[in-house]
Amino acid sequence: MSETGEGAAFVAVVVNEVTDYQRQLVSGLQQGLAGAGVPVLVAVSHPRNGHDGELLERLIGSGRVCGVVLTALEDEGTEESLCRSAAQHGVAVVTVSRRIAGVPNVECDNSAGMGELMAHLLDEQGVRRPVFLQGNVDNPDAQQREAVFRREMAARGLPVREELVLLGDFHREPAHRATARLLDSPAWAAAAPDAVVASNDDMAYGALDALRLHGLRVPDDVLVSGFDDVPASSPSGHDLTSVDQDLAAQGRAVATSLLEQLGGGAAPAQRRVPSRLVVRGSTGGARSHAAAAGGGVAAAVAALDHILEMSRSFSAAADIEDVVAELAAHLPRLRLRSCFLVLAQDEVAGGPAHHDVRVALAWLDGALEPIDGVPAFDQAQLLPPGLLGRLGDRVLVQALFSGSRQHGYLVYEHDDAAERSRISDVLQIDLSRALDGLHRERVLQEQASELERLVALRTAQLELEVATRRAAEEGLRRANAELERATLRDELTGIANRRAFNEALRRQWEHATRAGEPVALVLCDVDSFKQYNDRYGHQAGDECLRRIAAALEGAASRADDLASRYGGEEFAVLLPSSGPTGVAEVAERLLARVRALAVPHADSPSGVVTVSAGWALAHPRPGDPADALVRAADTALYAAKLAGRDRAERAAVEDPAYS
């Protein structure tokens, strides 16, 4: 096992977030590693922040990490890169839930637990129309639990109504919104479901909230079940039936697999931890005393007040010093023994970032430590020499970032207090927002100063060159006008191009949505144009396209109509505020005008060049995508080609908004 000057190397547990699920898993892991004296580092890798993976790879390469635990991250690319980095540096790896070739895995027995739950609901409680709340579609636990749900329904001859399969993404708020939409939908009114089966507890609590707001009683009107059986900050009265997957035992199993590798041996490819059904009041079982008493409300309110206070204080910070001062003011209430705020060099001093960071705040043993004289250091060290060794054996790292920019990170000791963990998550978000706001303000100030300098310089020059400036401005105006005209016109045919069409479609679609008016589109394609080019040559083909473009532009006679070259031998005619009769007439007129050109085409059945057209008409509603109109017209064009060419076909689709 590798050692550093700061003590034993860490086992890094990589998670997307810190919830009760991760806390119980890490608690079991720490129990399993306690005898070996291996500390645990929890690294939060946000799925939208690529810098987290880079920091972890640097930590692995630094020798400070002896083992890595991957917990089914949303970004599978991060998992793969960390596995490669760990293999390169001889670091032990174990996955939880997700199976990766050659990497030991620990998982719960989803099949047995979910099967037991479905038997309880379907056989004992008589459920026949359940809603299913899916987890993250790429998560292996979510996939296994849904597969068992479908299997058990099929085994009893019960259909799965797909409109009742909702995506909750393993989080309360998406599950709440999906359930609320379902409650307001015709699917619920037609045959009200009798249960909600959620892939985890957090989504089950979101569904419970939505059901309660709609006046439905659990379990009298609807049964609700979850999976995980972890503590949650739930509204009073919620007493959830769930499947206990024994996360602490999974953590201990992960520790066993790591220690086997660290001892020079090989861990088994898979360790499966049993799960068990826990029946409570939400599916008709006995209500627990805690649920009946509604405990935990006061703690939740206090945590919410603290969150709001932190958010307000950070939003009012005028500079980095204010941010640091506000963080120091809130740390006593968070009851953290140790906490470090580490910022990128350019956040602190305006210098280049590279990988250099600096400690902006040090909180040790409940008091601020002086940081004057503490030099900058490489972020792969995590903390400067002498400070890392003063932390305990449960350390959490949270990156502070906005978009693709990393401002720094927080390092602190953590425990199993749920309300404190939730506040620390909000702290990460609020700090990131405050630092991003200050960074943007600094950039704007620098840009404004540079702009003022350039304006002053230019003004001095212009005072001496008024005539030259006026001539240059006029030339620039003409050049810009010509450039704009050129960018919106097709170089070959001279009519509007694809860019002009897209802009016109967007503008007319927005107007039609506001005004409640229709908008129509005719797509045309030159019939057998490849054969034409092959027989007569590309110069003749270009001339043919120019003549067809002129004919189509003449057919679009109203001021707001737009004929454009859509691409290749395809053309589009946009017809705002047109009814079906008018659109059909325009489509037939387009075909007739092209026939009237009488461009010879020996490979055409009629002996002349013809076009096929497909058209669609829409009454757009708020939220409808404009490209659906294009797809409908394109489908109709394809039908016209199949029907023999030289004809116009109207779109026939199920959605009444596109026809």
**Assigned token pair, 314:** 């950070």
Q: How far apart are CA 334 and CA 315, in angstroms?
A: 19
Report yes or no on 453 lying in a domain: no
* Whether residues 77 and 163 fall in one domain: no
Classify residue 230: in a domain, yes or no: yes
Instruction: Give the phi and the psi of residue 103 in degrees, each rounded to 5.
Output: -115, 125
How does 266-305 read in b/e, with b if 16+ C-beta sit within 10 Å? ebeeebebebebbbbbbbbbeeeeebeeeebeeebeebee
Q: Are 34 and 177 in a shared domain?
A: no
Shared domain for 614 and 530, answered yes or no, is yes
Residue 480: inside a domain: no
* CATH assignment at residue 599: 3.30.70.270
Quick: pLDDT tens for 513-567: 999 999 999 999 999 999 999 999 999 999 999 999 999 988 887 888 999 999 9
8 Å CB contact between 567 and 524:
no
Cα separation, 516 vs 527, in Å, equals 35
Which pLDDT does position 50 carry in this prediction?
A: 55
Please check whether residues 9 and 85 belong to one and the same domain: yes
Q: Is residue 130 within 8 Å of residue 95, measured between CB atoms? A: no
Burial grade of 352 (CB within 10 A; 0-12, 13-18, 19 or more): exposed
Q: How far apart are CA 652 and CA 659, in angstroms?
A: 6
pLDDT band at 621 (very low <50, low <70, confident <90, very high): very high
Q: ∠ at Cα 564 (561, 570), nearest 5°?
A: 130
CA quadruple 316, 319, 325, 327: dihedral sign = positive
For residue 298, name the pLDDT band (cuts at 50, 70, 90). Answer: very low
Phi, psi angles (nearest 5°) of residue 421: -65, -40
Q: 288 and 215 in one domain?
A: yes
Instruction: Select from 440, 458, 488 the last residue of a domain.
Output: 440
For residue 295, pLDDT over 50 is answered with no
Q: What is the mean pLDDT of the chain?
A: 85
Lowest mean pLDDT among 30-39, 92-101, 375-384: 375-384
Q: Which residue has the tokens 């089966």?
A: 197
Question: For tokens 């620039």, what's the residue?
Answer: 476
Q: How far apart are CA 383 and CA 403, in angstroms?
A: 24
Would you say 278 and 244 are in contact if contact means Cβ atoms under 8 Å apart?
yes
Domain boundary among 421, 440, 459: 440
Residue 630 in this model has a pLDDT that exceeds 60: yes
Task: Clarify whether residues 395 and 425 are in a common domain.
Answer: yes
Residue 493 counted as domain residue: no
Across 358-362, 399-403, 518-522, the highest mean pLDDT is recorded for: 518-522
Residue 233: pLDDT band with limits 50, 70, 90 = very low
pLDDT above 90 (res 1) = no
Tell me the pLDDT tens digit for each residue of 153-207.
Answer: 999 999 999 999 999 999 888 899 899 999 988 878 888 899 999 999 989 998 9
pLDDT at 331: 79
pTM reported for the whole predicted model:
0.56
309-350 per-position pLDDT tens digit: 777 778 878 888 888 888 887 777 677 788 899 998 776 544
Using an 8 Å Cβ cutoff, are 92 and 85 in contact? no
Flag whether 656 is in a domain. no
Tokens of 470: 């006026």
As a whole number of angstroms, the distance between CA 225 and CA 242 comes to 6
346 and 425 in a single domain? The answer is yes
Q: Residues, the chain, total?
A: 659
Between CA 127 and CA 241 the distance in angstroms is: 14
425 and 513 belong to one structural domain: no
Spatial distance between the Cα atoms of 177 and 160, rounded to a whole number of angstroms: 21
**CA–CA separation, 323 vs 436, rounded Å?**
12
- Is residue 482 situated within a structural domain? no
Task: Using CB atoms within 10 Å of the CB of residue 613, give its burial: 0 to 12 exposed, 13 to 18 middle, 19+ buried.
Answer: buried
Across 462-483, average pLDDT: 69
Cβ proximity of 67 and 93 under 8 Å: yes
Here the CATH number for the domain that contains residue 401 is 3.30.450.40
First to last CA, the chain: 69
Per-residue confidence at 583, pLDDT binned at 50, 70, 90? very high
How far apart are the C-alpha atoms of 111 and 113, rounded to whole Å?
Answer: 6
Domain of residue 79 covers 3-103+249-273
122: Cβ–Cβ under 8 A, 6 or more apart, which residues?
128, 152, 153, 156, 158
C-alpha–C-alpha distance, residues 95 and 101, integer Å: 10
For residue 568, the 8-state DSSP code is: T
Residue 501 near residue 564 (C-beta atoms within 8 A): yes
How many CB atoms neighbour CB 537 within 10 A? 11
The tokens for 59 are 């930590």
Residue 360 structure tokens: 């902006």
29-33, 199-203, 650-654: segment of lowest average pLDDT: 650-654
Helices (H), 237-286: 247-262
Domain count, the chain: 4
CATH number at 31 reads 3.40.50.2300
Asked if 89 and 129 sit in the same domain, the reply is no
Query: Residue 257: its pLDDT value, please?
Result: 95
Contact 436, 404 (CB under 8 A): no
Q: Are residues 284 and 136 in the same domain?
A: yes
**Which of 1-15, 594-608, 644-658 has the least mean pLDDT?**
1-15
Task: Classify residue 640: in a domain, yes or no.
Answer: yes
Residue 468 has pLDDT above 50, yes or no: yes
Name the packing angle between helices 627-642 and 498-515 (round to 10°).
110
Q: How far apart are CA 650 and CA 253, in angstroms?
A: 63
Q: Which two tokens stand for residue 397?
A: 């790292």
Question: What's the DSSP call for residue 604?
Answer: S
Identify the H or E element spanning 70: strand 65-70
Mean pLDDT, residues 431-457 taken together: 88
The answer to whether residues 258 and 189 belong to one domain is no
Q: Model confidence over 134-149: pLDDT tens digits?
A: 998 888 999 999 999 9
Question: Is 179 in the same domain as 321?
Answer: no
